[in-house]
Amino acid sequence: MSKRAVYGLLDRSILRRAAADAFRKLGPRKLVRNPVMFVTGVVAAFVTAIFIRDVAMGRGGLLFTGQIAAWLWFTVLFANFAEAVAEGRGRAQADALRRTRSDTMAKLLLHPDDTKDDPWEAKPAQDLVAGDVVLVEAGDTIPADGEVIEGIASVNESAITGESAPVIRESGGDRSAVTGGTVVLSDWIIVRVTAVAGSSFLDRMIALVEGAERQKTPNEIALSILLSGMTLILLITVATLWGIARYSATDVSVTVLVALLVTLIPTTIGGLLSAIGIAGMDRLVRFNVVATSGRAVEAAGDVDTLLLDKTGTITYGNRLASAFIPVPGRSERDVAESSYLASLADETPEGRSIVALARGHYGLSEMSDKTPTKIIPFSAQTRVSGVDIDGRRFRKGSVDAMLAQVGQTIEQAPAVFRQAVDSIARTGGTPLAVAEGADLVGVIHLKDVVKPEIKTRFAALRQMGIKTVMVTGDNPVTAAAIASEAGVDDYIAEATPQDKLAYIRSEQRKGRLIAMCGDGTNDAPALAQADVGVAMQTGTQAAREAGNMVDLDSDPTKLIEITEIGKQLLMTRGSLTTFSIANDVAKYFAIIPALFVATYPELGRLNVMALATPQSAILSAVIFNALIIIALIPLALKGVTYRPIGAAALLRRNLLVYGLGGIVVPFVGIKIVDLVVSAFGLA
């Protein structure tokens, strides 16, 4: 498997560009989008002006004022740098995608019948319009997004998905959508163009991963309003301190008041908020999932119910051998041996699963050197397959076909045989009869096997408070059996597109957020209705346009990872907000005593960190306030470690780690900075 390049946190090219972008983002038009950093930038410019004035007038205290101005600018730059690093990682992914595009020429069919032998003319791909019909042959690049209307071909989609294994694309069904920029490896297809240059899937993907179309999500907007409100309140509070200081005959400079304001407003989360949102979408891209908006990522974090198809998601999708049931007078090993030998030349998934079960449970691998003298391939007419080996005839097939081969009716078959066939059929499995010569040996139980890890994953989702619902076209008895084995909370049997849509709407009316995946045109209504609709890249154009996410690996179980990434995004934002607000407590103990200790000596008791001087205390708090942003950038980009625990346990963990940690870390950090500042005589 050949995935696209993954760009690490310390990629030099990204860091170099991010450092330059941090300065470009100092422009007022860009800075004003982040109110907290905008206020910090304004007061930094104000203190810089004071410093320049004091230099011109030859006033004292220049070292202190100059350092405060410098560290305020560093605070803004570090916040810009965090956002630029997050954007840089997305931009690097986008550049890698751009390199997959080339100046492609299309074979535009001219005849209205649009068949392979019709005349065509070469036309640049960028000049195609929706509705054009093009011929794509082996070795050609598919010029634009479209639907296969004739033919079948093997297509290399590694430019989009990162997967080196080719996929089959054919007209009709759910494998008819093709993506511009992919390459046909064999045969030919005729494609009707559905998206032109500039609006293709690849173009939208580039724009999304590079963040060009990223808008703030509702949670981000709400948090920005909260942070802006806190900043305004603290701005008014600090402004009133100047009057209080004058009344108490305390000399408090504007520089000190500005330092107090910047250290108390939530600069930490304000500086990292944008980077957290961008990194959330970037994590999805690393999982080969493209979200059309940050809103979809956040919705994934709040999902209450997951709708998952049974086939290929909960089960493997192929009927696999699960048991050998003997008739009286025979043992399970006899059935396993006969089934094994009858399947030696069977290359179907069912045949290979029979061989694997016989080898794994009965150690029959030493029999693989037996050479069949005659092979009976399976056919739809006979519904029987097998081999002749050393004069012995081994056959397996459908029950009625095998009974006809041995000259028996179902009523003449042993009671154990009949009971096994009935039991397997009732649970949705497929019984295969096995015979050696004219004698029935037993029954093979074929079933769509539940993936072994899926029950554990559903249990983890249940811990998160997420309800899992299996959607299947099976009858209710079969659906109930598989649902019980898989551990899902509910199931919809004999499901139609209308049933899916009705269920989603019913759950949404109860205030729940729903996620589902699909790949067919019949899934499009439900994908559009769901709060998180994950369309498969291998699916139809209608499905991809209806969903708000596209899974490039076409793995329906990825819904679980998408949900975890969404929750991780919300957890990261909440955790760093908690940390940001909590670490202001230590700054009160650092700066408030420094402001008024001369007038009110009793405040010296609040100097629990034993900071060297009032100037050192203020400068240390400002320096720590800037450095903590740069220290938290890796956490903002990587995300807080997610664990599937309940909401109450999650809240306790958040308060303990990031609440208490947000109080303790600044006390230690400010003290360390104070020791350095004092040792070098910087204050």
* Confidence band of 61 (pLDDT split at 50, 70, 90): confident
Residue-wise pLDDT tens digits, 270-297: 999 888 887 887 788 777 787 776 678 8
Residue-wise pLDDT tens digits, 585-641: 888 888 888 877 777 888 888 888 888 888 899 999 999 999 999 999 999 988 888
CB count in 10 Å sphere of residue 528:
16
Q: Which of 41-45, 314-318, 447-451, 506-510 has the highest mean pLDDT?
A: 41-45
* Confidence band of 6 (pLDDT split at 50, 70, 90): very low
Q: Where in the chain is the domain with CATH 3.40.50.1000?
A: 289-311+464-473+488-552
CATH number of 316-449: 3.40.1110.10
- What pLDDT does 100 receive? 52
- Please tell me whether residue 48 adopts helix, strand or coil conformation: helix
- What pLDDT does 352 receive? 84
Structure tokens at 337: 């041996």
Domain 289-311+464-473+488-552 superfamily per CATH: HAD superfamily/HAD-like (3.40.50.1000)
- What pLDDT does 563 receive? 85
Range with lowest mean pLDDT among 160-169, 587-596, 640-649, 668-677: 160-169
Q: What angle do CA 303, 309, 312 make, to 5 degrees?
A: 120
> Rounded distance, CA 556 to CA 518, Å?
8
Annotated binding site for Mg(2+): 519, 523
- What pLDDT does 283 receive? 80
* Confidence band of 3 (pLDDT split at 50, 70, 90): very low
Q: Which of 241-255, 336-350, 499-513 has the highest mean pLDDT?
A: 499-513
* Confidence band of 46 (pLDDT split at 50, 70, 90): very high
* Confidence band of 200 (pLDDT split at 50, 70, 90): low
Residue-wise pLDDT tens digits, 549-593: 888 777 767 878 888 888 888 889 999 999 999 988 888 888 888
Contact 562, 284 (CB under 8 A): yes
Task: Label residues 418-448 b or e (16+ Cβ within 10 Å = b).
Answer: eebbeebeeebbbbbbbbbeeebbbbbbbbb
Q: If you average pLDDT over residues 72-95, what whole number do you get?
A: 83
Tokens 């974090």 belong to: 301
Q: Where in the chain is the domain with CATH 3.40.1110.10?
A: 316-449
What single letter denotes the amino acid at residue 203?
Answer: D
Annotated binding site for ATP: 346, 350, 378-385, 396
pTM: 0.68
* Confidence band of 673 (pLDDT split at 50, 70, 90): very high
Residue-wise pLDDT tens digits, 181-196: 788 888 889 998 887 6
Q: If you average pLDDT over residues 102-119, what whole number do you get?
A: 75
> Rounded distance, CA 236 to CA 260, Å?
12
> Rounded distance, CA 583 to CA 669, Å?
10
- Mean pLDDT across the chain, nearest whole number? 83
Dihedral (CA of 296, 174, 521, 315) sign: negative
Cα-based torsion angle of the residue sequence 53, 55, 61, 62 in order, rounded to the nearest 10 degrees: 110
- What pLDDT does 1 receive? 35
Instruction: Specify the DSSP element, H or E, that contains 515.
Output: strand 514-518
Residue-wise pLDDT tens digits, 353-400: 888 888 888 877 666 566 777 888 877 677 888 889 888 899 998 888
Residue-wise pLDDT tens digits, 400-422: 889 988 888 888 889 999 999 88
- What pLDDT does 519 receive? 73
Residue 8 has pLDDT above 70, yes or no: no
- What pLDDT does 213 receive? 46
Tokens 């650092």 belong to: 590
Contacts of 660 (CB under 8 A, 6+ apart): 582
- What pLDDT does 485 receive? 85
> Edge-to-edge, what's the strand order for the sheet holding 315-326?
315-326, 439-450, 430-436, 392-398, 384-389, 374-376
Residue-wise pLDDT tens digits, 454-480: 888 888 788 778 889 988 877 787 788
Q: pLDDT > 90: what percent of the chain? A: 24
Contact 438, 407 (CB under 8 A): yes
Residue-wise pLDDT tens digits, 111-153: 766 677 778 888 888 788 888 999 999 888 888 888 888 888 8
Residue by residue, DSSP assigns 470-513 as: EE-SS-HHHHHHHHHHHT-SEEETT--HHHHHHHHHHHHHTT--
Q: Where in the chain is the domain with CATH 2.70.150.10?
A: 104-198
Tokens 């004698």 belong to: 439
Give the up-direction half-sphere exposure of residue 277: CA atoms within 13 A in the CB hemisphere. Answer: 25
Task: Give the residue numbers marked as catalytic.
Answer: 309
* 584-596 helix and 254-264 helix, angle to the nearest 10 degrees: 160
* Confidence band of 2 (pLDDT split at 50, 70, 90): very low
Structure tokens at 457: 């994953």
CB count in 10 Å sphere of residue 42:
16
CATH of 104-198, one of 2.70.150.10, 2.60.40.10, 3.40.50.2300, 3.40.50.970: 2.70.150.10
- What pLDDT does 294 receive? 65
- What pLDDT does 86 receive? 80
CA-wise closest residue to 432 among 399, 473, 476:
399
- What pLDDT does 672 receive? 94
* Confidence band of 308 (pLDDT split at 50, 70, 90): confident
Residue 97 has pLDDT above 70, yes or no: no
